Chains A and B, each alone.
Chain A
Amino acid sequence: MVKLLGLVLSRTSLALRLVLGLLLGAAGFLIFYFLPANLVELASAAVGEEIPPAVAGLLSSLVDPYLPAVGLALAATIFLCTLLRGTKAYGFVTVALSLLYAVYVVLWFHSGTVSIAVPEALLGGDLPFGISLSIRVEMPLLMGLYLVPAALGIAKGALLVLMPSLKKD
């Protein structure tokens, strides 16, 4: 038997937690870090040819520079959350996971407003005049919808942190 932050586990259970944590962490790594950090390369691979620099620049501008770092932290927290489920630290890890997820959502949605400056090269190089196009997408409600799980997660984490003291009462 192994004692993990106040939780007694069998070695098999711990091994299972480690495997499940690694799997979920790897999935989180792929989704929250690898995908945004390598968006241009993945898009090139998906279409089977090199993406023009103008499109590559446009795709890169959609990804906030801090997003991969937060995604990496999120993947690590997912692993910890799976591993430490039921332990004394689970409540804190849940709150951390929810906060990181909330930050990730805010960065992903660019705080609810995405402004895209479409490069001139994408607007038709044959045009006899210069033209610029900017697109602004406002989606604070959609971002809010994505933040609901984070809010619920923070509530859950807070309850888990407070649970021992509440039980004592």
Chain B
Amino acid sequence: MRLSTGINLLNVLIVLALIAALTAPSLVVINAFGVLSSIRVGEPSVSSSGSVVEFSVPIGISNSGPFGVSDVRIYGEVRDAGGDLITSISSPPFSVAPGEIGTQRHLQIRINLSDIPQGRLQTLFSQAGNLTLLASLGLSIDPLISISAQASGTIPWEPPVKDFELGEPAVLGYNSTHIFASMPVRFENPSEIAVEGAVEVLFVDLETGSEMGSGYLDVNAPPGSIFEGELHSSFRLPENATALLLEARTYRCNATFGFRLFGIRVYTISSPLELQWSPPVDSPYLGSPSITPYNSTHSRFSLPFGFVNSNSLVTLDGSLSLGLAVGDVLVSESDPVGVHVPPGSGCSCNLTMLVPDWALSVPGALILSLDTPFGSASMEVPING
């Protein structure tokens, strides 16, 4: 009697266990679909502070089912062709308790670009190759099921800065201390990421190691675009800039172009540069002076003067004047003659001044002066009266 009761009890338990076993997956599936269909993804926001870029994706989620959803987590990493880790992202895990309706979560992904070794950034920006992407997603439907998904892919990588070209510089202006120049910059961005930041350039004298100049350009190159812009630079003039007016020079420097994104330098291109400087006052010549009587005490003294601006960049603006000195005394001076000499063109003018007749019969010196923003240069020509 007791055994048959036991058998009957087991029969009841078997039926109940079967019902529970058949019901549980249905409840899990309904629970999972309920949670998945309740997910509402909001507008993602991107914020960057220094080298840290943070993506925040608001997610509205509800769980009306009997099972809690826990340990929802996302992880991703990118490795280069050699298998070295470039960057990894992960979100802090979160849970959705049973009965939680309309809860707002923020899926936050934080990337610190400064954690990426400079060498890898340099490689990424300069070389095409394949990147390996690993991503994983996990969640648990407590306590019955734990689901994890892992995706891996090989993504062809195109460097964001391709065929970087620097055009011929153009001088925008100059003063006694600096030359301001503009250089066309062109590069192609065939990659899938936008290059938004700045290009900085630094010119360093190879002989002295001192900084010769620097420049800056804002860059915004969307994916698949060709960027063209003007890199504005300033070059520091040497202390004796007057010599630049008359002498040819060769400057050997190292130009370093640095791309700065999200506040950190991600890519640099260095290249030696040889800057040829030709004098803006080249091949000066003096013509035959002429003297004509002006009045009873003075004569008009005329001197033809000319030169060629051999510099291909600088337009020489300034003024020329002529003077006559006897001993240490300047006895006569012409009015300044303004000059405007574009690159490659010549200048010729007739400098005229009134000279006391007595000064023409004693030894003296003609003083030819040129005043420019570079400085002033003067040339003395002795005369014997």
A153 near B147 with CB under 8 A, answer: no
Q: Tell me, rounded to whole Å, the shortest Cβ–Cβ distance linking A58 to chain B.
A: 14
Distance of A55 Cα from B18 Cα, bound (Å) = 31
- Chain A residues near B143: list those with CB within 8 A: 141
B10 near A155 with CB under 8 A, answer: yes
The answer to whether B287 has its CB under 8 Å from any CB of chain A is no
* Residue in chain A with minimal CB distance to B140: A138
A132 near B18 with CB under 8 A, answer: no
Q: Tell me, rounded to whole Å, the shortest Cβ–Cβ distance linking A154 to chain B.
A: 10
Contact partner, A136, options B6, B149, B152, B155, Cβ 8 Å:
B149
A142 near B25 with CB under 8 A, answer: yes
A137 near B146 with CB under 8 A, answer: yes
Distance of A26 Cα from B13 Cα, bound (Å) = 25
A131 near B145 with CB under 8 A, answer: no
User: How many A-B Cβ pairs are below 8 Å?
Assistant: 78
The answer to whether A122 has its CB under 8 Å from any CB of chain B is no
B146 near A132 with CB under 8 A, answer: no
CB-CB under 8 A for A163 and B3, given A128-B156, A129-B153, A135-B147: yes
CB-CB under 8 A for A137 and B145, given A132-B151, A152-B14, A152-B17: yes
Interface size class, chain B: 20 to 34
- Chain B residues near A103: list those with CB within 8 A: none
The answer to whether A149 has its CB under 8 Å from any CB of chain B is yes
A152 near B145 with CB under 8 A, answer: no
B145 near A142 with CB under 8 A, answer: yes
B149 near A156 with CB under 8 A, answer: no
* Residue in chain A with minimal CB distance to B148: A136
Q: Tell me, rounded to whole Å, the shortest Cβ–Cβ distance linking B369 to chain A.
A: 69
1/0 contact trace for A118-132 toward B, CB 8 Å?
Answer: 000000000111111
The answer to whether A160 has its CB under 8 Å from any CB of chain B is yes
A131 near B156 with CB under 8 A, answer: no
- Chain B residues near A163: list those with CB within 8 A: 3
- Chain B residues near A166: list those with CB within 8 A: 3
B20 near A145 with CB under 8 A, answer: yes
- Chain A residues near B152: list those with CB within 8 A: 131-132
The answer to whether B246 has its CB under 8 Å from any CB of chain A is no
Q: Tell me, rounded to whole Å, the shortest Cβ–Cβ distance linking A99 to chain B.
A: 14
Q: Tell me, rounded to whole Å, the shortest Cβ–Cβ distance linking A136 to chain B.
A: 5
Distance of A145 Cα from B23 Cα, bound (Å) = 10
CB-CB under 8 A for A149 and B151, given A142-B145, A163-B3: no
CB-CB under 8 A for A153 and B14, given A135-B147, A138-B146, A141-B143: yes
Q: Tell me, rounded to whole Å, the shortest Cβ–Cβ distance linking B77 to chain A.
A: 15
CB-CB under 8 A for A159 and B10, given A129-B153, A139-B144, A142-B144: yes
A145 near B24 with CB under 8 A, answer: yes
Distance of A132 Cα from B24 Cα, bound (Å) = 31
The answer to whether B275 has its CB under 8 Å from any CB of chain A is no
B3 near A159 with CB under 8 A, answer: yes
A131 near B151 with CB under 8 A, answer: yes
The answer to whether A146 has its CB under 8 Å from any CB of chain B is yes
The answer to whether B53 has its CB under 8 Å from any CB of chain A is no
B25 near A149 with CB under 8 A, answer: no
The answer to whether A12 has its CB under 8 Å from any CB of chain B is no
The answer to whether B171 has its CB under 8 Å from any CB of chain A is no
- Chain B residues near A156: list those with CB within 8 A: 7, 10-11, 14
- Chain B residues near A168: list those with CB within 8 A: none
B6 near A129 with CB under 8 A, answer: no
A129 near B17 with CB under 8 A, answer: no
Q: Tell me, rounded to whole Å, the shortest Cβ–Cβ distance linking B129 to chain A.
A: 12
- Chain A residues near B150: list those with CB within 8 A: 133-136
Distance of A166 Cα from B150 Cα, bound (Å) = 56
Distance of A138 Cα from B71 Cα, bound (Å) = 14
Contact partner, B153, options A131, A136, A137, A160, Cβ 8 Å:
A131
1/0 contact trace for B1-35 toward A, CB 8 Å?
Answer: 00100110011011001101100110010000000
* 8 contacting pairs across A/B (C-beta < 8 A): A130-B153, A135-B147, A149-B14, A149-B17, A149-B21, A153-B14, A159-B10, A163-B3
Chain A interface residues (CB < 8 Å from chain B): 127-139, 141-142, 145-146, 148-149, 152-153, 155-156, 159-160, 163, 166-167
Known pairs A136-B148, A146-B21; list 7 more (Cβ under 8 Å): A131-B153, A133-B149, A136-B147, A136-B149, A139-B146, A159-B3, A159-B6
